[in-house]
Every structure is written in C-alpha cells, then in structure tokens.
Amino acid sequence: MKSAARVVVIGGGVVGASVLFHLTKAGWKDVLLIERDELTSGSTWHAAGGMHTVNGDPNVAKLQQYTINLYKELEQISGQSCGLHITGGVMLAGTPERMDWLRMAKARGRYLGMELELISVSEAKKLFPLMEEKHFVGAMYDPIEGHVDPYGVTHAYAKSAQIGGAEIVRHTRVVDLKARLDGTWDVITDHGNVHAEHVVNAGGLWAREVGRMVGLELPILAMEHQYLITEKIPTLTPPPGKKEQLHVIDFEGEIYMREERGGMLIGTYERAGVPWSPTATPWDFGQNLLPNDLERIAPSLDVAFQHFPILGESGLAKVVNGPFTFAPDGNPLVGPVKGLKHFWVACGVMAGFSQGGGVGLALSRWMVDGDPGADVWAMDVSRYGDWATLAYTNAKVRENYSRRFRIRFPNEELPAARPLRTTPIYDRLQAEHAVFGDYCGFEHPLWFAPSAAEAAEEVTWRRSNAHKHVAAEVQAVRDSVGMLEISNYGKFEVTGPGAAGWLSHLMANHVPSVGRVALTPMLNERGKLIGDFTICRPSEQRFFLIGTYAAESFYLRWFERHAAQSDVSLRTVATQYVGLSIAGPNSRALLQGLVRDDLSTAKFPFMSFRRMDVGMIPAFVGRVSFTGDLGYEIWVTTDYQRALFDLLKAAGQPYGLKSFGGRALNCMRVEKSFGTWAREYRPIYGPQEAGLGRFIDLNKGEFIGRKAALAEKESGGALRLVSFAIDASDADCLGDEPIWHDGRVVGWVTSGAYGHTVQRSLALGYVPVALAVATSGFEIELMGERRKAERLTAPAFDPSGARMRA
C-alpha cells in the first residue's frame, strides 16, 4: 500500500467503488480505496440488485436515471459484466389513492424525460401474468427498470477506476483517522498508515463507526431486510417480447419481485422492521447472513400469495436476510461535513444499484470542482444537524422502513420521535387545538381546529378538512390581525468590527444600515442561489441573519469555507431566540398598545428592526411581511415567550386576534408570489431566474458570485419563476407538477396553494424565459389532468405591495 494519496476512499462496496471510479473520471488519479475484506463484503454482496428511476425527489430521480444509464459504459470500460437486465417494471396500484400517486409520479417524470406509462389492470396482466387482476385498479409501466449483479457492478466500477489510475487495497482495515493541522489526514490502518489530502467515508454498514473516528455521529441505522427466492416455477414464461418476468412492485403487499433462475425473488419492506446492531456494528461481520425470520414478513407474504397465487404454491429455494443502512428520510448522506476539513461522506445509500452512480458523480464533482454540479439538497449530509441523535435516528429509520411502500400523503405528518422539540408556548397552542407538523424535530402549528375533537387532519391528495379552517385563519389576517409562531427559523448572530464587511462579501445584497432589514440571496461562485436571508441590524456591529433552520448546517459549512477574520464572531442562536409574528391591518394598533416606540410608518417604516420593550419583555421587533400584509416579527429569548404570547393574546382580543399556522402562511405567501428556500430557491436557479434580481447589489463591490450574477443579469438566465392561477376542482398543486404550454411540457411547479383571499387555486413554477411572457396556452397537470392555467402578470394579492408598506 502506498504511504500517501490525494484521496483515500474507505469502503469497497458499490458506493465506495463508484466514488473511486468517478474521481478518476474527473481527473484525480492519485486515489486509493481501502477495503477491510473483499470488495462487496458489506451490504452490497447480498443485495437483490433491483433498480428503478422513480423517486419522490425529482433531483434524486435524475441521479437514479444517470446510474442506470451508466452500466453499459462501465461494462465497456472495464470488460466486466454488470449482469444488466433491463426488464421493464410494473408498479401495481390496489387503491384509487395509489393510482393518484402513480398519476403524479408519471406527471413528475415528464419533465425528467422519463417514459412512464399508466396502464390498465388487463394490460398489466399481459405484462405480468402471475397477478390476480381483481386485487388491482391500475398500474404504471417503466421501461428502464430491472436488475443487475451486485458483484459485477462493484467490480466493474473498481476495474474502471483501476484502469483510470486508482489503487485498491483489500484486507486492510482503517482503524483510526487523525487530522493534521494543515487539514490533511493520517489514515491509520492495521497494515500501515497513509497520508491523504482527502478522506471519503463510504463505509456502508460501518459508516457510523468510521464517522465516530472523527467525532461524528452520522444519522444512519442498519435494518434487517429479507427476500426469498422460490424454486423454479415450471409455468413461468416471459411475457410477449420479453426475455424474463418484469420487475414488479405491489404497494399493497409491500413487496417487490423479479425473476431469478426460473423462480421468483420476492422482497418485502415489512411493517415490523427490525434494526440490526443499533448502537455499534461488529467489525467481524463480513459476507454473513442473518437468521431468517419468516414470521415477521408473513403478513406481506399472505398478501403476495393472494395477489400472485402461484407464489403460494411454489417451494422455497432460498431466504436471504441481510442488513443495510438508512438515513431517517431514506435518502443518502453525501458531501463535505461541517467542522471537518477535507472529510467527505457517501453513505446511508439504501438503493446502491439505483443511486450509487449518481452519488459517486455528485461527490466527485464536489471534491474536484468544489460544487456537486446538480441539485443534491435531498441527499446533502448537512440536512441533518445535531438534533438527529442516535435514538431519534432509530425511531425515524424504523418508521421510514416500515412505510417504504406506503403512500405519504402531502398533508400527512408522521408520528415517530414526537413530540421532541417544543417551544415554551407549546401547551398554549395545544389548548387552541393546534394541529402540529414536524420540522427538524420541532413541533410547529400547521393549522388550528375549532375543537379538540376536530384537531386531526384526514390525509388526502385533495383539499382536506383543514381547508375551511385555514380559510378562516387567512381571513382573520386579511381583515384584522393574526398571530403565528415563527420560532423554527435558522438564526445566526454576527458581531464585531468586521461583521458588516464579512456579510457584504458573503451576501449578494448590501448590508442594511442600523435599524434596518435587508433581504438578500446568498450565491455560490457560479451565481446560483444557496440561501436566502433576512439580515437585521440592531446596532453598528451586530447583525441577526434569519434563514431556513433545515439548512443551518448547510449554511455553517459555507460560512466555515469562507471563514471570517478574527474581528467577526458568528453564533447560531436558533434555539436561543423564539418568536411570534402578528400580521394584518390591525397588527400595528395591537402592538402600539404594548410599546413606547412610535410605530407609525414615518417612525418605523417597512423593513425596520429595533430593540423594543413589549410590555415588560425585552424584544427585537422587525417590520417585515411574509403574508403580504402589514406585519411585525417579535423575537425574544426563550424565557419570555410565554409572557409575550399571553400579552399579545390579551391585547389582541379587541381586534379578534386569531392564531394561524403554516398552512395559512403558505397560502398568503403564494398569493404574494413570495418564494421560499428549497422550493423556489435552490442551487439550480440564478437570482434573475428566481425573480430576486432586485436583491442583488452589483454596485456595492465584490461579493461571492458577483461575476456570475452580472453575467446572468446580462443574459437574463434560462428560466423564469412565474405565478399561475389554475382551473382546479378539489385539489391544489403540491410542487413538481409539469407545466405545459401549447401541448408541450415546458416547466415544473415549485409551490401550490389555494389562495383563500383571491379564491383561486395558485401555483409558482419555472418556465423557459422566452415563455415567461406568454399570455395564453398554459396548462398544469394536476392529479393526472391537464388543467387550464392563467399566467399572472402580478401577484394575485395586493400587487402594488401597498398593504405591507401601509
């Protein structure tokens, strides 16, 4: 083994091998993979090798497409067969709700170029004759599903990497990692040490243990997973035009199937899933299997035997029970880790044969170019913070595993690990019959029911029982005043003599003057949006940055990369400051009764921010608006929040102050065409495209992304965020619906809501810039139907902005 390498990749499963290959492909040749045992000896060797493109996140779906399309190229480079079987796949729906899910998956696939086809039960039967038609209502066909040989794929990556210059060392275990002061690493193994500039943790089943070597507790957990292979089924004949049975998913039975050696391979994500090695993975576990537990999967098998009777009549040739890892949301954990220089992860990959290629591509680009080259937010390791503890991960992974093939409705909140994080007014909100949502472990009110009995939401694709209550909340804001808990934002305090200069370098807008607020995008060097912040400046050398809490680690990683001089101090204050917002035409009168400061527009205009006493409570008050109405955000330290809540409630009584939740807020911001992070603002869009051009100050001097932002301003960018009103019936857009124009798919929806004030179904979405001025011809595919959409030339509510500035 060499004693120095530019990169050491730890782990020779499918993911580590893919990272190694992609690094060589990107031009880094001095790369070394260290494997404890033989290649594939983690979860890879016993995988069923199934692959598919459909994923809830379109960006992950794109990477899955890339992975599947890569296999032929790998075979050509390496001469190693991947055992590629593109059989095509059928997803069977047993309920109308599942059929709606398939319709939506098909629609989302449209702008990704996926050729998904909805088919009838009898068409499905022709493709998969083993099924009993009576259990199903429809199906979807995907031509590029199939399966591969896990050994073949891993070795094809490995050989291709070696051809590209990489070295692979087997039977060598990394036992420790020591960071040097210059940010490089000593990789300590049981066969000598290697000095590396970069380390990649692709430790799969042991990724958690490798993380612990550097003080990192990664939110991953291995679950036991079983599949069976039946004996040869003599009557099994391929459907017309096919060489073997198709890959099949039966959502109701929570099973997947494919042909294997003349019999059928049947795998299940059972509801009673069991974690494996929940706290520490044994190092002596290798190419072992776990004892079978057919009892555990019996309920799924019962369904399978009813839905596919021949399976019940077939003998069992083999049972495989093996562990593999999951993150709490089931997506991979990829990228650089905050606080650790040159330390990268590529783990928690639960579908290595659909996702391994995409993970390797994204990570290698990130390492070589400093940017993953695609929107990888859904699998960025930074989406989890310290709040994702071992026990939290355990609860969420088990929940996610048991629901793998169940529908997650857009308004469905999952119960595991809750309530975990609550603010001091949680019980007050409960007493008002709040229906809570979970956001990074925080409980936050989604909407308020009139009684305890009604404080539960039916899960549906369509408008739910919450609709009319949300309407009442919106009306309260628009007519008088409403109150919203706003604690779950990400908050940073930046102080010191260099604070203004550092923020100006980091952010695209100018920093505000004392007592003012500025909205600002944060751009990367390519001029793409990597954050949107509200900067508040209470004093000369003190700033509060308010952004998205889910992106706290993502932001911190960026701030670290562009570290400030010693005359700036940065502190996260997300949980130290909690807040309440009041909004509506009577919000000023309400607050004026509680503060000594003059709140008139002359003295405290829109976008002001000031330290004020609210009654006896020391607070920071900002006059900002995400509802589009006159409004104030009031920030206090946690110990004052209950008092603030009670004070505002009492003072709000004469105005009919009504609590409102996240649903009403979403409706009102969509009525105003206001975008939000991870929806309208993502690292694939430029500020002109996202309609944020007015927040880019190209005249203030240099800042990160300025050159690219200037170029985008000159070119106009390729896309444009536009607003639509849709001829909807009982369902509104959720995001990711295709936008059609003159019979062609031209874009996608990013957010949708029913606009209760304007009484129209609304959506925001991206279309090519040339079409952003088209006045007719738009349709949006909603619940499988193309519905006429009117492009709005101005926000649906208060286009002049007079209400929030009043």
Ligand X SMILES: Cc1cc2nc3c(=O)[nH]c(=O)nc-3n(C[C@H](O)[C@H](O)[C@H](O)COP(=O)(O)OP(=O)(O)OC[C@H]3O[C@@H](n4cnc5c(N)ncnc54)[C@H](O)[C@@H]3O)c2cc1C
Residues near ligand X, by CB under 6 A: 10-16, 34-37, 41-44, 46-51, 173-174, 202-206, 210, 225, 227, 320, 322-324, 347, 349-354
Specify the residue, 355 or 688, whose C-beta has the smaller distance to ligand X: 355
Rounded Cα distance between 799 and 173, Å, is: 63
- Residue among 171, 91, 83, 155 at smallest CA distance from 123: 91
Specify the residue, 202 or 425, whose C-beta has the smaller distance to ligand X: 202
Specify the residue, 44 or 572, whose C-beta has the smaller distance to ligand X: 44
Q: Which residues, in sequence order, are bridge partners of residue 753?
A: 762
Residue 270 Cβ vs ligand X, minimum distance, rounded to whole Å: 12
Residue 785 Cβ vs ligand X, minimum distance, rounded to whole Å: 33
Specify the residue, 199 or 670, whose C-beta has the smaller distance to ligand X: 199
Residue 181 Cβ vs ligand X, minimum distance, rounded to whole Å: 24
Gap between the terminal Cα atoms of the chain: 71
Residue 191 Cβ vs ligand X, minimum distance, rounded to whole Å: 11
Residue 33 Cβ vs ligand X, minimum distance, rounded to whole Å: 9
Residue 24 Cβ vs ligand X, minimum distance, rounded to whole Å: 17
Distant-in-sequence, close-in-space partners of 391: CB < 8 Å, separation ≥ 6: none
Residue 77 Cβ vs ligand X, minimum distance, rounded to whole Å: 20
Specify the residue, 152 or 322, whose C-beta has the smaller distance to ligand X: 322
Residue 34 Cβ vs ligand X, minimum distance, rounded to whole Å: 5
Residue 109 three-state SS: helix
Rounded Cα distance between 623 and 612, Å, is: 12
Specify the residue, 13 or 675, whose C-beta has the smaller distance to ligand X: 13
Residue 593 Cβ vs ligand X, minimum distance, rounded to whole Å: 59
CA angle 497/502/505 to nearest 5° reads 150
Residue 174 Cβ vs ligand X, minimum distance, rounded to whole Å: 4
Rounded Cα distance between 19 and 344, Å, is: 11
- Residue among 713, 671, 707, 708 at smallest CA distance from 692: 713
Specify the residue, 280 or 563, whose C-beta has the smaller distance to ligand X: 280
CA trace torsion 422, 425, 428, 430 (10° rounding): -20
Distant-in-sequence, close-in-space partners of 170: CB < 8 Å, separation ≥ 6: 12, 35, 37, 38, 39
Residue 384 Cβ vs ligand X, minimum distance, rounded to whole Å: 17
Residue 234 token pair = 């003599």
CA angle 635/640/644 to nearest 5° reads 70
Count of other CB atoms within 10 angstroms of residue 793: 10
Specify the residue, 322 or 579, whose C-beta has the smaller distance to ligand X: 322
Helical axes 352-369 vs 150-163, angle rounded to 10°: 20
Residue 587 token pair = 């919000």
Count of other CB atoms within 10 angstroms of residue 773: 11
Residue 327 token pair = 């993150």
Distant-in-sequence, close-in-space partners of 776: CB < 8 Å, separation ≥ 6: none
DSSP state at residue 692? -
Specify the residue, 102 or 351, whose C-beta has the smaller distance to ligand X: 351
Distant-in-sequence, close-in-space partners of 326: CB < 8 Å, separation ≥ 6: 220, 221, 222, 223, 348, 350, 397, 400, 401
Residue 201 Cβ vs ligand X, minimum distance, rounded to whole Å: 8
Residue 391 token pair = 């026990």
Task: Give yes or no for a contact between 732 and 756, defined as CB atoms under 8 angstroms apart.
Answer: no
Specify the residue, 397 or 446, whose C-beta has the smaller distance to ligand X: 397
Q: For 493-510, what is the HEC assignment?
A: EEECCCHHHHHHHHECCC
Specify the residue, 270 or 438, whose C-beta has the smaller distance to ligand X: 270
Q: Which residues, in sequence order, are bridge partners of residue 189?
A: 174, 192
Residue 368 Cβ vs ligand X, minimum distance, rounded to whole Å: 20
Count of other CB atoms within 10 angstroms of residue 4: 14
Specify the residue, 174 or 361, whose C-beta has the smaller distance to ligand X: 174
Specify the residue, 349 or 725, whose C-beta has the smaller distance to ligand X: 349
